[in-house]
């Protein structure tokens, strides 16, 4: 008898990835990847095109029984009354809604910022920053009122792709899951209900008008969300059960099999420290967002706008290969001879400095070498992650070690220096597509049912331990504090 196969998709910022796995064992059968366009504003049709490309590249889905889509969180996908996309989606890393975030905090706090921050954290688990969907909706109401007036439905990247795979018959069939809904800013993951009053506030609508907007049905962690319809090329997918899907960070936690109390650090386009937790968080400082995971628990996380692309940028400046970059960075001394890179190259979200730029400080004639610069870039990125680990700890999470994932682990320098700079042992599972794996596991769970997701053995895990280097973090913290002071 042939094995039952499941597929998992990661529609991430830079690319679309698909894995096809054996539902019983998790063994990888085939995989593919296709690029997404650059930019922080992308038409969802580009994700649909890339999904079609990867489905093609893996030889189709005829032998696959169930599929789930994981995706970048927060992207604002707007549909009109005919189910057509109104405008390109604003992505999680688009910062144009920074003022809208400030305005909404002010409004919920009746003019008092501290009260507003506490009110948002209590209501939806997170203080608003430009990444969250609800701030993008306010930006739209303020800057593109004609588009705002056309909104019939609001959904997220993974919701829209799941719906497209189902044939996109009626907007009323849109679905989402609790993990991605928890990143909208208008969903309470404690009561598992939409906050339409907050949606109304963001879009400057009456409660009745907000009620009329279609929001995706939130399906359970292993519920069949929809049946397949057809793919980009019109091929029949009616044999497919479509799983609920998930936000990419919840997908990675599921793919890694993280249990409550375990933490991951992801170096993708974003940098993310995420901890599976049995209890919710409501961090009024705004550093930790109180999201949900894909199993029914919570996923407090600290996310940066700057991730592995900090190293891409430094590599480009130096004009070297990946291997050369790693070699010179590792040959340099800890502390990079006094060079400190605070890598706010895209502005930053954690801390919330959307208008910030990166800094390189401590330069002298003696220390300004390619090796020290490469080392400072790696240390700067890891220190940024270290600050996120501390923020998650401040929410009562005991982070004794972390699992390191994301495309960034392919940088030998980043994974080698991670335990010393983060100051904890680091498990590095074999580089892989853990978000897509989590989505595939969710698809297998949909088929198998039961209270717990299937347990799939992880391939080789490298356990890295090193003497902590607190002096590297101390130099970074001083430089980061100077940037913060400039923006105060």
* Residues at the interface with ligand 5SP (CB under 6 A): 12-13, 72-74, 92, 131, 183, 248-249, 268-270, 272, 303, 307
**Angstrom distance (rounded) from CA 48 to CA 242:** 16
Q: Is 74 annotated as a binding residue?
A: yes
**Catalytic residue, candidates 180, 231, 248, 427:** 248
Residue 231 annotated as catalytic: no
Q: Is 442 annotated as a binding residue?
A: no
Residue 75 binding result from ligand 5SP, ligand ADP, none, given CB thresholds of 5 to 8 Å by partner type: none
**Angstrom distance (rounded) from CA 196 to CA 188:** 10
The single residue listed with the structure tokens 């502005």 is 347
Structure tokens at 124: 């939806």
Helical spans, DSSP H, in 295-369: 309-318, 322-331
Nearer to ligand ADP, 312 or 437 (CB): 312
Which residue in 437, 479, 427 sits closest to 457, CA to CA? 437
Q: Which of 52, 271, 354, 407 binds ligand ADP (CB under 6 A)?
A: 407
The answer to whether 340 and 380 are in contact (CB under 8 A) is yes
The C-alpha R_g of the chain, in whole angstroms, comes to 22
Minimum distance from residue 388 beta carbon to ligand ADP (Å): 16
Minimum distance from residue 265 beta carbon to ligand ADP (Å): 12
Q: Which of 11, 12, 289, 413 binds ligand ADP (CB under 6 A)?
A: 12
Residue 350 binding result from ligand 5SP, ligand ADP, none, given CB thresholds of 5 to 8 Å by partner type: none
Nearest to ligand ADP by Cβ — which residue? 407
**Angstrom distance (rounded) from CA 340 to CA 416:** 19
Q: Which residues contact 102 (CB under 8 A, 6 or more apart)?
A: none
Nearer to ligand ADP, 304 or 442 (CB): 304
Considering only the stretches 118-126, 135-143, 153-161, 403-411, report the one whose residues sit in contact with ligand ADP under the rule CB under 6 A. Answer: 403-411
Nearer to ligand 5SP, 47 or 48 (CB): 47
Binding mask 255-274 for ligand ADP (x = CB under 6 A): -------------xx-----
User: Helix %, strand %, coil % for the chain, to 5?
Assistant: 40, 20, 40
The answer to whether 403 and 253 are in contact (CB under 8 A) is no
Q: What are the φ/ψ torsions at residue 73 (nearest 5 degrees)?
A: -85, 165
Structure tokens at 236: 């029949």
Minimum distance from residue 59 beta carbon to ligand 5SP (Å): 26
Q: Which of 3, 29, 150, 322 binds ligand ADP (CB under 6 A)?
A: 322
13 binds ligand ADP (CB under 6 A): yes
8 binds ligand ADP (CB under 6 A): no
380 binds ligand ADP (CB under 6 A): no
- Please report which helix (H) or strand (E) contains residue 483, including its range: helix 470-487
Q: Tell whether omega for the bond before 446 is within 30 degrees of 0, i.e. cis.
A: no
Binding mask 211-250 for ligand ADP (x = CB under 6 A): ----------------------------------------
Strand 340-342 vs strand 359-361: parallel, antiparallel, or unpaired?
antiparallel
- Tell me the longest C-alpha to C-alpha distance in the chain: 69
Binding site for ligand ADP (CB under 6 A): 12-15, 268-269, 308-309, 311-312, 322, 406-408, 410-411
List residues with catalytic annotation: 248
């Amino acid at each position: 008898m042939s094995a039952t196969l499941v597929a998992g998709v990661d529609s991430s910022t830079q690319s679309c990835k698909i894995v096809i796995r054996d539902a019983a064992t998790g063994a990888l059968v085939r995989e593919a990847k296709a690029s997404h366009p650059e930019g922080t504003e992308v038409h969802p049709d580009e994700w649909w095109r890339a999904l079609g490309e990867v489905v093609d590249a893996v030889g189709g889905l005829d032998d696959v029984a169930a599929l789930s889509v994981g995706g970048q969180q927060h992207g604002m996908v707007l549909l009109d009354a005919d189910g057509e996309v109104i405008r390109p989606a604003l992505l999680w890393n688009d910062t144009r809604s920074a003022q809208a975030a400030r305005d909404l905090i002010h409004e919920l706090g009746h003019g008092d910022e501290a009260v507003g921050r506490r009110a948002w954290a209590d209501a939806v688990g997170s203080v608003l920053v430009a990444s969250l969907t609800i701030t993008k909706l306010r930006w739209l109401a303020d800057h593109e009122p004609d588009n705002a007036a056309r909104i019939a439905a609001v959904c997220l990247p993974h919701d829209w792709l799941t719906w497209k795979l189902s044939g996109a018959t009626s907007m009323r069939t849109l679905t989402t899951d609790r993990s991605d809904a928890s990143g909208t800013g208008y969903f309470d993951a404690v009561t598992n209900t939409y906050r339409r009053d907050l949606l109304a506030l963001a879009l400057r609508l009456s409660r009745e008008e907000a009620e009329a907007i279609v929001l995706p049905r939130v399906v359970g962690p292993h519920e069949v969300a929809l049946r397949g319809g057809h793919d980009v090329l019109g091929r029949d997918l009616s044999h497919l059960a479509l799983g609920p899907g998930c936000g990419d960070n919840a997908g990675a936690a599921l793919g890694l099999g993280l249990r409550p109390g375990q933490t991951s650090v992801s170096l993708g386009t974003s940098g993310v420290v995420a901890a599976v937790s049995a209890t919710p968080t409501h961090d009024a400082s705004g550093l930790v967002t109180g999201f949900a995971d894909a199993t029914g628990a919570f996923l407090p996380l600290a996310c940066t706008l700057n991730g592995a692309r900090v190293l891409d940028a430094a590599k480009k400046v130096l004009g070297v290969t990946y291997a050369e970059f790693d070699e010179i960075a590792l040959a340099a001394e800890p502390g990079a001879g006094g060079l400190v890179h605070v890598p706010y190259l895209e502005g930053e979200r954690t801390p919330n400095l959307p208008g910030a730029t990166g800094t390189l400080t401590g330069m002298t004639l003696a220390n300004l070498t390619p090796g020290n610069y490469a080392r400072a870039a790696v240390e700067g990125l890891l220190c940024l992650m270290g600050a996120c680990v501390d923020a998650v700890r401040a929410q009562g999470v005991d982070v004794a070690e972390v699992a390191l994932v994301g495309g960034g682990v392919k940088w030998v320098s980043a994974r080698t220096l991670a335990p010393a700079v983060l100051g904890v042992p680091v498990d590095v599972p074999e580089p892989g597509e853990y978000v897509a794996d989590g989505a595939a596991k969710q698809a297998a769970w949909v088929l198998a049912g039961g209270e717990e997701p299937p347990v799939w053995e992880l391939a080789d895990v490298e356990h890295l331990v090193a003497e902590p280097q607190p002096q590297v973090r101390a130099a970074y913290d001083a430089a980061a504090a100077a940037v913060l002071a400039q923006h105060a």
